[in-house]
Amino acid sequence: MHTEVILAVKDVRRSAAWYEQLLGCRSSHGGSVFEILRNGQEEIMLCLHHWGDHGHPTLTDPGIAAGNGMILYFKVENLSDIWRRAQMLDAVIEEEPHLNSNSGLEEFSLRDPDGYYISISY
């Protein structure tokens, strides 16, 4: 069993390009309404869905704060590379790289183009 997260976004193509640049994932669906992003092992990392399309009840109101109650948490092997990419993307940085005293892992946190909170950890 595994989870496939679907995020509602304003611009699927823009968000997909942002995640591809940040995380090094790739598109496997394409389009302006729905996108599937995969890692190098072909596993689904994230799905992006345009607000309001297809009538999904929780993906209809872009006026609600994005991601309230949720953290997108990515465990990676190349934290320093992704940190450099985040800086090149001019991402909104919430926390710079630091040692998380709870997990004992290095991490940083940022916001994606729609305001979703993301933590990247090694």
In a domain, residue 110? The reply is yes
95/76 Cα distance (integer angstroms): 17
Count of structural domains, the chain? 1
CATH label of the domain that carries residue 10: 3.10.180.10
User: ∠ CA 21-81-107 to the nearest 5 degrees?
Assistant: 105
pLDDT tens per residue, range 18-77: 999 999 999 999 899 999 999 999 999 999 999 988 888 888 888 887 788 899 999 999
Tokens of 63: 């006026």
19/37 Cα distance (integer angstroms): 8
Enclosing domain of residue 84: 6-55+69-121
pLDDT tens per residue, range 93-109: 999 999 999 999 999 99
In a domain, residue 24? The reply is yes
